[in-house]
Every structure is written in C-alpha cells, then in structure tokens.
Amino acid sequence: MAPVDIDAWVWWLIGAAALGIPLVLTAMPELGMLAVGAVAAAVTAGLGGDTVLQVLVFALVSVALIAVVRPIATRHRAQRPELATGVEALKGKSAVVVERVDGSGGRIKLAGEIWSARSLDSDLAYEAGQEVDVVEIDGATAIVM
C-alpha cells in the first residue's frame, strides 16, 4: 500500500490544533495568535499558495497579532475594575452612628445594614445620630472618621 500524501493545508491545521492545545492548558495568548497564523497559512495553502507564501503568511499574521493584540490585552489586564464591589464599594461611603463609636467599638448603619465599627482615631468618639465616613473595612468592622 502506497503512503498517503497529505496536503499542506492539512499540516497547517494540525499545527494550529497543536498550538491550540497548550494555549488552553497554559493560558498563553501568544500560542493562540500563532494558531491563527497557522490557520491563515492553511487557507493560503488551500488556495494554492506555494510553501514560501504559506510560511510568509504564517509569520506575518502571527507577528501582526502579537504586535497589535498583545499590548492591548496587557493594558486591559493591568486596569483595575471600574466598578467597585463588595467591601471595596463601601470605602468612602457615609454612615450613621447607631450606638456610640470610639476606639474600642460601636455600631453604624452602612448601606442599609448595621455594622460593627470603631473610630480610626482612638481618641475620638461619635455619638448616635452623627454621620461618619467609612475609611476602611477590617474583617466585619468598619473603620470610621
């Protein structure tokens, strides 16, 4: 039986799949960009492009994606989320003292809930009804001033 001659575009698709597997396992986006380059080379081979053109398309598409997409992805990864959630959203909010708050403790009403609280400055005390600002959340205790 004679060996089967596999077209070049099939080899490029095998290469793209081979790059896609470690992409999923390692979460390295560069491998995905190389896989897209391999798919572009497979299309070139399928349209009848010679080997030099296939390699050139692979290199150009891969380098272009890495040069353009990677910096954008890096910039987005470095940005802090614009919407604060959880205890981060409570910092800087105003609250009303329910029970006297001093350096050792007390209670405030914050975002519709009763929280334990203590004064940022242990020498200061806030009486019931006063408005305070939440500076920090320490566990389940709001630090106020």
pTM for the model: 0.52
Report which secondary-structure segment, H or E, holds 131. Answer: strand 131-138
Residue with tokens 């030099």: 52
Higher-confidence position of 2 and 136: 136
| Phi, psi for 11 (deg, rounded to 5) | -60, -40
Over 80: is that where the pLDDT of 15 sits?
yes
Instruction: Please give the full DSSP string across 32-71, using - where no structure is assigned.
Output: HHHHHHHHHHHHHHHTT--HHHHHHHHHHHHHHHHHHHHH
State residue 81's pLDDT score.
65
pLDDT, one tens digit per residue, over 46-104 is 999 999 999 999 999 999 999 998 888 888 878 776 777 777 888 889 999 999 999 89
State residue 117's pLDDT score.
94
